[in-house]
Structure 1
């Protein structure tokens, strides 16, 4: 009999105080600890998935689906076997008007009317062509054409991103992807495929940052050297000049950042954005920047680096957080029409150009003229399957409706409700710690870093804070919280945060649960302070 050699899962008893755990391994241990009580609900406040969502564009998705199926059934109704066919496009708008008249008070129908009106008045889109795209996308019966993104979807999402990223004059192309994670995967893949990155090259990462950004560059096959560009917590999480000066090294090929940051949840100030743009313009015109701006729609007066340094910056945006759509997997890559990546491809040496001509020869005879964004599409399907590339049509339909929702919400009702919800939760959490939160101008507050070291100092003095940090009590706090309350938080260390801290998502729990986190945090710090006082002879407060 063959012995089963499957390694057993680690438990808390296997973990010593000095053991180094990846953030994901630690997360799994915390979830097991939080789930140990079968009579208590486990609450994962370490995840960024929001517990709110936009309902109106989803209602519209269902209504256009209903209309699309009815249109499809007109083709083969004589078969009486559940058959449908491609909708007949002649007279489509008239039949749609008849359809929606059945639902005069339906929010989804009102939204669809607004969408068609907006597309006509603001974008000059042909109503019949736009409606036909929505209907065909709903049915999902064809391959995505064009594979990069549907024509009207691109125009609407581009307009939405111009509005949200801070520059209405930008001109760029989009590639619709399976969320922001797929966007990052495709970007690294194509940068290597086009020999703009090689193993051993340097890549700069703005930290603290979502942990996969730290883990992708060092994967076997990539083997990139990582240069840490660190945000300064004491300057409201902005990049100091000394950190930005690291980008002057010509060996640094790419700079990746998340803005607003994750987990500090602070946007870059206008002054820092323009400092980076000026550095690029005057000293690093060859630098490629990738900015992940998924949280930008929660910020006040947000401006993306994509808007101030467009030729050098590739935009990654996901609809997942703002619209409560992580399960939809909706993201885009935005590339300016005139950009440094295409310029770098044109400047490649002849031997590399020859290799790339062979790689992309099945797509076009003019490989030299093939844009980077189109290479991204092809590389996403191993080039040979380019003809079946592209985000699924129903996903592009929902993306279109989300973008229209952001455009027609002219008074910002949804946006203001989302921002006020997460900021109220933050105030609630810190009020129950006993250290009310002070909102800074660049704060966004989708997450908060519960900085245990700083809270320890604020509540009980610097001596206690130093003792707390030296004893590595931060991890014990996470396990106690999981065991005693069922709440899981992620350690700040997993995001390259220096102080003992925990990331709390302010988007995915109910108000009373933030009360519980705040009270438990104060309870643990007070208990440790009692221990510190006993050991050091310090009078108890």
Structure 2
């Protein structure tokens, strides 16, 4: 049993950020004197209703269609393609808002994407009913072009890549991360001892997975700092020109820093890749739609980049587990596999030869699909078809807006912005109003806040006399307020992450006031220590 609070906190600091958060949550809930406010997780407290209601209508139509071929109580048959588009249009009610969206979606599929009406509706209905394995296994034919046009519209900033990009829908962004690392290893694109660069602070799995025994990679942290408003600077990007660096991983816009790469940073990254042309890049763009004028790394370096995206944050769909990996049809991953030695090709041929006559011709993204089911279960691979249709519907709510602003995205961004400004207004320090700031998270360094509110001597006192996790734990214990420890993301000591996603707007002023109250309490102890001569 630990002899002091400090000893316990030293042990806790060894845990992952999310494990620490769970412990703080328990402490806060046990603090009955205060309301429980948990701003540690990024799960949004809003949802998109349009796509969900449309999903329900597709299920209803699909059930009715199935009864046309076989109907014995609750037992029904399969859907027939011939004439299904017209039957679907006849099913829709012209004065119903959800049905109007489905009519718009049908028009988008047939007019903008030039899909055959019967084929498109048959594909969506089979998908939403879920009565077949995913086929093709990587992505449903009706879903992939919808996802590609959504990505092009929202992430590429005018660069036309929809027709040259292949998509693998996955069980959320986290599954995409797991599948991606696994396939990189199985295809000898990363090997133990390889040097990889990570733009920290970053979502914790990207820090933790490379150090596992499965990978044993050498990490080089390209750190973004509060002094640079959490933007990665030129000196850090320039390090990527080193050919010994095999892989660069980033979350863009960043988590927890919330900053998107600027056009200058993207240009500098292109210059670094020109000197290190075989650099593999993984960019996780889940927060892209919360930044103004966003452009993905994939848009400027499609040959080198694998794009990870999730619908979870924007559409309030963390429980749906809907994400994807996207790759250009000509990419460095395929080229590096092609250049492997004859011995490695022989080993990989044995692995993939069970599912392909010419395994050496398999693209990396298709190998990822196969590896996601350990090869042997490749015939049952692929994301569940209802999940794929849900992704398509989320995308269509945006695509049918055409060149007009998407009111849902506009409302989501305003909600986040309002909470962010309320928090900083109550904290009595300036907010970062950069257009590259998504404002989804706020990073607060307690030591810097102490120096601003009081003086540097007090900030030094906090560092020297308390464990870095102490402030967060006392905030939970004394005020029922839970924030995420930022050091687990690779941020500086004393950093706490505040999520603007999962509480009511007025709560953010309360959280800021609780932070200041606790800081005042520490300051009172500091003054007492000075008076007693203990400082």
Q: What is the TM-score normalised by the length of structure 2?
A: 0.94
2: distance between equivalents of 1:337 and 1:347? 17
Other-structure match for 1:112: 102
SS class of match (1:411): coil
| Aligned partner of 1:319 among 311, 316, 320 | 311
| Aligned partner of 2:397 among 405, 411, 418 | 405
Contact 1:277 1:305 in 2 (8 A): no
Contact 1:174 1:335 in 2 (8 A): yes
- Seen in structure 2, the aligned counterparts of structure 1 residues 11 and 120 have a Cα distance that, compared at 3 Å, is farther
Matched, 1:253 2:242: no
Contact 1:452 1:474 in 2 (8 A): no
Other-structure match for 1:513: 507
| Aligned partner of 2:292 among 292, 295, 300 | 300
Other-structure match for 1:66: 60
Shift of 1:366: 1.4
Contact 2:304 2:333 in 1 (8 A): yes
Shift of 1:535: 3.1
Shift of 1:242: 2.6
2: distance between equivalents of 1:437 and 1:532? 28
SS class of match (1:121): helix
Contact 2:189 2:337 in 1 (8 A): yes
Other-structure match for 1:338: 330
1: distance between equivalents of 2:242 and 2:199? 15
Q: Which runs of 5+ in 1 are unaligned?
A: 1-7
Contact 2:31 2:478 in 1 (8 A): no
Q: Deviations over 1:74-97 (max 9, x none)?
A: 2222x3x31111112222122212
Other-structure match for 1:190: 183
Other-structure match for 2:478: 484
Once superposed, what is the RMSD of the aligned Cα atoms? Answer: 2.0
Contact 1:265 1:444 in 2 (8 A): yes
Shift of 1:120: 1.7
Contact 1:291 1:305 in 2 (8 A): yes
- Seen in structure 2, the aligned counterparts of structure 1 residues 36 and 196 have a Cα distance that, compared at 3 Å, is same
Matched, 1:18 2:10: yes
Other-structure match for 1:286: 278
Point out 4+ residue stretches in structure 1 off by more than 4 angstroms: 10-15, 37-41
Other-structure match for 1:244: 237
| Aligned partner of 1:169 among 144, 152, 160 | 160
Q: Deviations over 1:53-84 (max 9, x none)?
A: 1110111000111100111122222x3x3111
Other-structure match for 1:470: 464
SS class of match (2:211): coil
1: distance between equivalents of 2:420 and 2:447? 18
2: distance between equivalents of 1:71 and 1:11? 69
SS class of match (1:507): coil
Contact 1:50 1:324 in 2 (8 A): yes
| Aligned partner of 1:229 among 215, 218, 222 | 222
Other-structure match for 1:535: 529
| Aligned partner of 1:145 among 122, 135, 148 | 135
2: distance between equivalents of 1:106 and 1:11? 66
SS class of match (2:498): strand
